[in-house]
Amino acid sequence: MAEDEEWKAEGDLNEDMAAAWEAELANEADSASDPASAAQSNSVGSERILNQDEIDSLLGFSMEEEQDGKGSGIRAIINSARVSYERLPMLEVVFDRLVRLMTTSLRNFTSDNVEVSLDSIASMRFGDYLNSIPLPAILAVFRARQLDNYGLITVDSNLIYSIVDVLLGGRRGTIAMRVEGRPYTTIERMLVTRLVEVILADAKKAFNPLTEVDFDLDRIETNPRFAAIAQPANAAILVRLRVDMEDRGGRCELMLPYATLEPIRKMLLQNFMGEKFGNDNIWEGHLATELWNAESKLRVVLDEFTQPLGRMMSLEVGDTLLMNAAPNSQVSLMCGDAALTEGQIGRIGNKIAMRVERGLSDRAKKLLLEEGDL
CA angle 154, 156, 157 (to 5 degrees): 145
- H-helix segments, the chain: 2-33, 35-45, 52-59, 63-68, 73-78, 89-110, 126-132, 157-167, 186-207, 258-261, 265-269, 281-293, 309-313, 362-371
Identify the CATH homologous superfamily for domain 295-310+323-371: SpoA-like (2.30.330.10)
Task: Using the predicted structure, report yes or no on whether residue 309 has a pLDDT greater than 80.
Answer: yes
Residue 185: its pLDDT value, please? 85
Q: Kindly indicate the confidence band of residue 200, based on its pLDDT and cuts at 50, 70 and 90.
A: very high
pLDDT of 39 reads 47
Question: What is the DSSP secondary-structure string of 180-224?
Answer: TTSPPPHHHHHHHHHHHHHHHHHHHHHHTTT----EEEEEEESSG
For residue 197, what pLDDT is reported?
92
Burial label for 52, CB within 10 Å (0-12, 13-18, 19+), is exposed
pTM over 0.75: no
pLDDT at 112 over 60: yes
pLDDT at 145 over 80: yes
Highest mean pLDDT among 64-78, 136-150, 268-282: 136-150
pLDDT confidence bin for 7, thresholds 50/70/90: very low
Which pLDDT band, with edges at 50, 70 and 90, does 157 fall under?
Answer: confident
Is the pLDDT assigned to residue 53 strictly greater than 80?
no
* Segments of the chain assigned to CATH 3.40.1550.10: 85-269
Q: For the chain, give every residue range classified as CATH 2.30.330.10.
A: 295-310+323-371
Looking at the chain, the whole-number percentage of residues with pLDDT higher than 70 is 69
Distances (CA, A) of 327 to 13, 132, 344, 346: 134, 83, 9, 9
The overall average pLDDT reported for the chain is: 76
Q: Which CATH architecture has domain 85-269?
A: 3-Layer(aba) Sandwich (3.40)
Mean pLDDT in residue range 156-184: 74
Report the distance separating Cα 199 and Cα 66, nearest Å: 31
CB 94 within 8 A of CB 208: no
Residue 42: count other Cβ atoms within 10 Å of its Cβ: 13
Residue with more model confidence, 239 or 87: 239
pLDDT band at 202 (very low <50, low <70, confident <90, very high): very high
Using 50, 70 and 90 to split pLDDT, how confident is the model at 331?
confident
